[in-house]
Structure 1
Amino acid sequence: MTQKYLLSIDQGTTGTKVILLNDKEEIHAVSYQKHTQFYPKPAWAEHDPNEIWICIQKGVQEVLSNGKIEPSQITAIGLANQGETVLFWDDLGQPLYPAIVWSCRRSQAIAEKWEAQDDWGAKVFEKTGLRIDPYFSATKIRWMMDEVEQVHSHIRDQKVRCSTLDSWLIWKMTGGRSFVTDPSTAARTLLYNIRTGSWDQEILDYLSIDSSWLPEVIPTTGCFGTTSQVAFCGIEAPIVVSIVDQPAALYGHLCTDPGTSKCTYGTGCFVYMNIGTELPDKPTESLLSTIVWAKGDKVTYALDGAIYSAGSVVDWAMESLSLFDSIDELQQWSADWHHQMLTTVDEHCDNPSNLWFVPSLSGVGAPYWNSDFRGLFLGLSHGTSKKDMAKAILEGIAHRVADVLDTMKNVSVHPMTVLRVDGGLTKNEYLMQVQADLLGIPVDVPSTSTAETTALGTAYLIGEACGWWTTEDLKKKLVKTKTYYPRLSPTNREGIRSEWTNLMQLMTKFYSKKISAEAKGGRSQP
């Protein structure tokens, strides 16, 4: 009998990962294709959709070749996507402008104007679970409507579609037969009402967005169409899953029970806590609420907190500040710091260098929500070394994750007993140990074999949709992880976190005064 496989595609911010999974939940082949990041202006970020499509095709061809399998052996397909990244395209599938990436801040002015009008901020938060922010798709869409002539002319001629990347990719994969998305992705646009489960007409009317431009929303595990052999590497198979990358990672960690949580350490850090199938009557003001997946008419929600700068700060420290020559050098330093931590008694585990770093190079997300924040080193002296600064950067990332998870712990009715993590920075032993220390709970890091958490979560959902296994089957086979256990006493941990909180309060006060002074046409004072 011919072996069958599942094809899982994780289309991420910096590249596309493709995996083949067999019926024993084993990864058979993997491919990774990197695509170009475009930064035409400060705080702008774009992708070329056509380049991403080529990368997906190359990745699929590579796993078929390396895995020595035929296209006919693919049983089903799933796609994880970037979430908020959005584009306009014509009725032939040609992009009218580069895709505007989730991290792009070009629509800041549109967001601020919208937020300032009447009670729109509270209204949008209640409807979508999100804050009005250029992070999400809606203001990016409005910016393209205002600024891109190609978009404007196609709207006038009624030959336009608008979607997140998943819908465009599914359209390409199916040879133009399917124009669909799922609730987890729609929920990241700022246009989707997560309480009614539909595009919100009041928001669409305010932004002058026509619902006919937007894809149909169907459950996360459903029928997204069948791929075209001609368009998609000779494969003719059903697409049964489409999901945002962060919910896919949540599923990859099998955080399917309320109270379970994960953090992905990538370009930014993305924290999700599963809160079950019912939304609270009132949203939590300092956190976002979102849909993570929908199976039939059963929708699962999560609390969401984003830290905008994490891996990007490490890259900046290496490339712009030259604090270390390579990631390998940082890893070696971190291994030394980790060893020192494990041989230091609790009572002395404070912040001996008294050096702090706030990783907010492009604003700060949950739970502070201030787009004007910028990065800060505090405590520099003549004795400060490059190593000290690199160490403070890692500690700052851990503090920001702790900010979000402490807030979640305070508002959740479900106890948090462990944090499951994924992403490139989880290889840093020092960062992971500091994270456990600041949270006071164990941090579980996947073994190398399960490092493809987003693609794996997508594959788990595909196999479940195909009847190959159940979630309970998967939980019984959880792969062993490396666990970092907290070492600090509650008193010591609270002291360190209190100092950090004081620092963030100072930052908030400074930027509030700065904004106030600028609004009056004056000059801010510290």
Structure 2
Amino acid sequence: MSRQFIISLDQGTTSSRALLVDHEGKIQGMVQREFKQIFPKSGWVEHDPMEILSSQMQVLQELLDKEKVRPSEILAIGITNQRETTVVWDKNSGEPVYNAIVWQDKRTANICEHLKKSGLKEHVQKTTGLVIDSYFSGTKVKWILDNVEGVKKKAADGDLLMGTIDSWLVWNMTKEHNHYTDYTNASRTMIYDIVNLKWDDKMLKALGIPKSMLPEVKPSAAHFGDYEYKNVKIPISGIAGDQQAALFGQACFKKGTAKNTYGTGCFMLMNTGEEPQFSKNGLLTTIAYGLNGKVNYALEGSIFIAGAAIQWLRDGMELITHAEETEKLANSIEGENSVYVVPAFAGLGAPYWDMYARGAIFGLTRDTGKAHIAKATLEALAYQTKDILKAMEDDSRIQLKNLRVDGGACANDYLMQFQADILDSEVHRPEVIESTAMGAAFLAGIQVGLWEQSDIDQNRPMNHIFKPTFDRVKRKRLYKKWQKAVERCKGWEEEE
């Protein structure tokens, strides 16, 4: 039997990766390359779109060379990407008019305030499923149109295109320069009507974004065009934003199933079925995936800083050399930790949505050392997840039986055990924690007939199931202190 592979391109916030997935759904190879993070001002985060493209193409080529893959052996390509990060480019030259503005960027906070004062808050929630926040793509496009010389006229003349990173990759990878996105990425822009599945005229007008800039929106499993490799056309047939791809990769297909991804940020999604469910508790309503003519929705809670807090311990504070050291440091502290770290470096996401909150450390005493701070930073990831789960259970009226986890930090046993303890719920860690890349691969493979959706759930062996050990009193006491710490971080940067 000839070899058959799916290529998964995983374009993340700090690196570009390419993974080779065989016909049994097993990863046979991976290449990764980090790229530069650009911080022009406090609260601003940018990427060079050309570096994103070149790094993604380089890892793809390196993977194919390393694994000696022939073009005829590649059935399809799936793409998953950092969401909300936005590129505006000239469709004639192909050149970006400005750097990509990253999802973490806070520069459009004042645009968001103006939208709120314009009375658009309810419209945004009921139409796009989101809250008005600088996190999403729409205000990033407006900022570029308003602040980069000459681009507003170009946009009015129909010469500019905008897109999330998936669109930027597809446009560059297809000979015809196809301008597409999928439902999941469109649902993160704050300008897409997730109920009627179309771009929202009211928000486009409010932000001054011409419709000519927008990509066509397709289901998550669809034909987005072909990538030519050694004169062989390979279909790009699956696209999903990274968190929805992880939900799909974790086989969260039934209503009430949920996953948490511990990446640069931390993202918890719960499948709510084929009807959108709008939150009363500051959660987002988003499209989970579009497949076989149907759309599934999800509730989502976003934690902006998760793995990035571990990076801060390493690069900013220089308390550790490698992320893995945090587990040993955390275990070296006996009993309860008196220190609490609130890593609100980019404001607070769900359920607080405070753009002006800033990070802080509480409970410092003379004997506090780096082990206490490392332990508290890990615990902060678990506490923030509990904040979201509380809101999710209240909105959905579904009590979580277990949480499916993935992402780099889920390899940390201390964090996973503390997560189970503070949630009072089992935490299921699969053997393959590359759920995001696998989700994109599965969507692409389903589209070209390699797999059925039912195959995915049958091929998820568990690595470990963490069971809660805390009693109710201890869990309540620790969480109450966390809530107190969060309250003291709110509104720090807000003008008087």
TM-score range, shorter chain: over 0.9
In the alignment, the residues of structure 2 paired with residue 327 and residue 2 of structure 1 have an alpha-carbon distance, to the nearest angstrom, of 40
Deviation per CA, 1:381-409, whole angstroms, max 9, x where unpaired?
11212211221121122111111112112
In the alignment, the residues of structure 1 paired with residue 322 and residue 3 of structure 2 have an alpha-carbon distance, to the nearest angstrom, of 42
Equivalent position amino acid for 1:459 in 2: A
In the alignment, the residues of structure 2 paired with residue 12 and residue 494 of structure 1 have an alpha-carbon distance, to the nearest angstrom, of 35
Counterparts of residues 332-347 of structure 1 (less than 5 Å) = 332-336=328-332
- What residue in structure 2 maps to residue 360 of structure 1? 344
Runs of 4+ with >4 A deviation? none
Equivalent position amino acid for 2:340 in 1: W
Range that drifts further, 148-157 or 203-212: 148-157
Match status 1:482 vs 2:472: no
- What residue in structure 2 maps to residue 37 of structure 1? 37
Q: CA deviation at 1:150?
A: 4.6
TM-score (norm 2): 0.95
Match status 1:256 vs 2:238: no
Range that drifts further, 137-146 or 369-378: 369-378
Deviation per CA, 1:133-171, whole angstroms, max 9, x where unpaired?
110001100000010115234225431111111112111
Equivalent position amino acid for 1:130 in 2: L
- What residue in structure 1 maps to residue 108 of structure 2? 107
- Name the larger-Rg structure: 1
- What residue in structure 1 maps to residue 223 of structure 2? 223
Match of 2:474 among 488, 492, 496: 492
In the alignment, the residues of structure 2 paired with residue 468 and residue 326 of structure 1 have an alpha-carbon distance, to the nearest angstrom, of 39
Counterparts of residues 173-322 of structure 1 (less than 5 Å) = 173-229=173-229, 234-280=231-277, 282-322=278-318
In the alignment, the residues of structure 1 paired with residue 84 and residue 151 of structure 2 have an alpha-carbon distance, to the nearest angstrom, of 19
Root mean square deviation, CA, Å: 1.8
- What residue in structure 1 maps to residue 396 of structure 2? 412
Q: Which runs of 5+ in 2 are unaligned?
A: none
Range that drifts further, 431-440 or 415-424: 415-424
- What residue in structure 2 maps to residue 172 of structure 1? 172
Match status 1:425 vs 2:426: no
Change (3 A) 1:2 1:318: closer
Q: CA deviation at 1:440?
A: 0.5
Equivalent position amino acid for 2:98 in 1: Y
Q: Which runs of 5+ in 1 are unaligned?
A: 341-348, 520-526
In the alignment, the residues of structure 1 paired with residue 215 and residue 385 of structure 2 have an alpha-carbon distance, to the nearest angstrom, of 34
Change (3 A) 1:190 1:321: same
Range that drifts further, 11-20 or 463-472: 463-472
Report if the CA contact (8 A) 1:128-1:187 is conserved.
yes
In the alignment, the residues of structure 1 paired with residue 75 and residue 314 of structure 2 have an alpha-carbon distance, to the nearest angstrom, of 43
**Which has the larger strand fraction?**
2
Q: Look up the SS of the partner of 1:161 in the other structure.
A: strand
In the alignment, the residues of structure 2 paired with residue 391 and residue 486 of structure 1 have an alpha-carbon distance, to the nearest angstrom, of 18
In the alignment, the residues of structure 1 paired with residue 394 and residue 475 of structure 2 have an alpha-carbon distance, to the nearest angstrom, of 16
Q: CA deviation at 1:494?
A: 2.0
Q: CA deviation at 1:317?
A: 2.2
Deviation per CA, 1:72-120, whole angstroms, max 9, x where unpaired?
2211111111110111111232211111111111111111111122x21
Q: Look up the SS of the partner of 2:234 in the other structure.
A: coil
Q: Look up the SS of the partner of 1:76 in the other structure.
A: strand
In the alignment, the residues of structure 2 paired with residue 308 and residue 170 of structure 1 have an alpha-carbon distance, to the nearest angstrom, of 26
- What residue in structure 2 maps to residue 522 of structure 1? none
Report if the CA contact (8 A) 1:263-1:271 is conserved.
yes
Q: CA deviation at 1:369?
A: 1.0
Match of 1:401 among 378, 385, 403: 385
Q: Look up the SS of the partner of 1:206 in the other structure.
A: helix
Report if the CA contact (8 A) 2:178-2:224 is conserved.
yes
Q: CA deviation at 1:464?
A: 1.6
Match of 1:461 among 426, 439, 443: 443
Q: CA deviation at 1:433?
A: 1.2
Q: CA deviation at 1:477?
A: 2.4
Q: Look up the SS of the partner of 2:226 in the other structure.
A: coil
